[in-house]
Structure 1
Amino acid sequence: MTEQDLTQEPSPEERRRKHRTRQILIFVTLPGVLLGTATVSAAYSQGWLTPTPPKAACSPQVVPAPKRSSFTVNVLNATGRDGMAATVAKGLSQRKFSIGGISNAPETWYVTQPAVVHYGPKFLDQALLVQQQIPGAELFQDDGRVSKSVDVVVGLGYKEIVPLPPRFDPLPREITMNVYNTTFREGLASTVAKEFKQRGFKVKEVSNDPLKTLQMGTALIRFGEEGDLAAKIVAQHIPKATLLKDGRAGTKVDVVIGNAFTGLTPLAQVPAPAPRPKQATPTVARPCSDN
């Protein structure tokens, strides 16, 4: 075959044959395409081919948190380090949770997480609230558990509990006290207790000092680590009162009346309570479900 043969143009007959072939293909194909398009359009217009809507994103359900004192928290130590359960229990108590048992976890429990919160099926919100206190804590639902309490199993990954929220001076109605008499004046504890009640304080025990101390000053206010702010407020109502920190738990204080006591500070001279910023309602986020 020569170079001339390779470059030779098709004959007129060949061009006419190719042209007819293209016309036939167009004649056969185009109606089918148009018919298919019209059929699909009609199906959509009649609702026969409604596209499937995208599945809605699953969002957690945010609800008000249960009151912290409304259920009990048991703390178990699965770290092998002495005192870890007591440490976590103290932290939860400082955050107003009610602590039940404090113990070691069974030796067969190997917990690598910071903590695992065990709860019954009806008490997810309580478990979620406790989970918020320990970064990295996980939940474990015990289907056979019916108790309202939850168990916190402290694991090897535990580092710390969340920081305490800001503290504010308690109001009189938020302070509970015992009033004790160490003087020879009969009925003095009852008189002082009545006056404190009139000022809005809560009074529990009224008696002679069970520690049998003799106070020569106006009053001694005994309090624990968590009751420092309450003791400070009570001291504003008794001139020259002395503060004494002891090892008690909770915020209750003892007002121990001494021999130099002559009366409470006039209300007009007691500092007004400091304003508190508005606190947001505590919430928990229930995990979303795809069901």
Structure 2
Amino acid sequence: MGGQYKITGDKYPRMRRPRRRGRLVVLVAVSVAVLGVGGWGTVQLIDVFTGGGEQPAAAGPKPDCASGVSPAPSTAADPVRPAAITVNVFNATPRGGLAKSTADELKKRGFKIGDVGNAAKKFDKKIKGTGLLLGPASALDTSLPVLATQLTGAERRTDPGRKGGAVDLVIGTGFTHLTTKADADKALAALTKPSPAPAASKKGCAAP
């Protein structure tokens, strides 16, 4: 070529494509960032749905964080209901009519009534307290505690040789009346409640 566009010298410019290395570095960095954010989000979702990887606590009664005790699971059988208890009512005092009136009130409270009358000679005028509750050995932890809710302060005895499941209420000279129905019902309800047992720890309670 000649004229004003004449090329002089012995070096010629090389025609190269523009470099894309800078753009590639930027794309790699962005990709890594996107993958990192996505992975962190996935981990968070897994924690949400799995409870943070913690194993679920064993089923059981929850501790009382205020008192530090856990209610013990009830393993005892249900207490005997009054309707399943037959009570013989005997009067060991000089006052007449106590056996019948007491038996009538116990019947209103759901107990079955057996024999009603004066006490045997070995008990007559010899029971100094409010009364005596007498039954077979099997009644010690079943029928007698239930009947005792109806007469505060009554003595309990068992007769190992006694047959049958009926129990006796022998009215003593210190008797005035049966425990009020409201108080007797509270005492009866308390028999169904298990006693709390000390907890090994307060695990599961929020920090104060």
TM-score normalised to structure 2 length: 0.50
CA distance in 2, matches of 1:193, 1:203: 7
Of 61, 65, 87 in structure 2, the residue corresponding to residue 177 of structure 1 is 87
Return the letter of the residue paired with 1:168.
D
Query: Which residue pairs with 2:105 in the alignment?
Result: 195
Higher relative contact order (CA 8 A, sep 6+): 2
Partner SS state of residue 231, structure 1: helix
Checking the alignment, whether the CA contact within 8 Å between 2:146 and 2:188 is kept in structure 1 is: no
Provide the identity percentage.
35
CA distance in 1, matches of 2:122, 2:89: 13
Unaligned 5+ runs, structure 2:
1-74, 194-208
Of 105, 110, 120 in structure 2, the residue corresponding to residue 210 of structure 1 is 120
Query: Which residue pairs with 1:255 in the alignment?
Result: 169
* Structure 1 residue 267, shift from structure 2 partner: 1.3
Deviations 1:52-103 (A, max 9, x none): xxxxxxxxxxxxxxxxxxxxxxxxxxxxxxxxxxxxxxxxxxxxxxxxxxxx
CA distance in 1, matches of 2:120, 2:92: 9
* Structure 1 residue 268, shift from structure 2 partner: 1.1
RMSD: 2.0
CA distance in 1, matches of 2:165, 2:121: 19
CA distance in 2, matches of 1:179, 1:211: 15
Alpha carbons of structure 1 residues 197 and 251: separation in structure 2 relative to 1, 3 Å: same
* Structure 1 residue 250, shift from structure 2 partner: 3.0
Unaligned 5+ runs, structure 1:
1-164, 277-291
Return the letter of the residue paired with 1:256.
V
Partner SS state of residue 220, structure 1: strand
Query: Which residue pairs with 2:181 in the alignment?
Result: 267
* Structure 1 residue 269, shift from structure 2 partner: 0.9
Partner SS state of residue 116, structure 2: strand
Checking the alignment, whether the CA contact within 8 Å between 2:131 and 2:170 is kept in structure 1 is: yes
Alpha carbons of structure 1 residues 275 and 182: separation in structure 2 relative to 1, 3 Å: closer
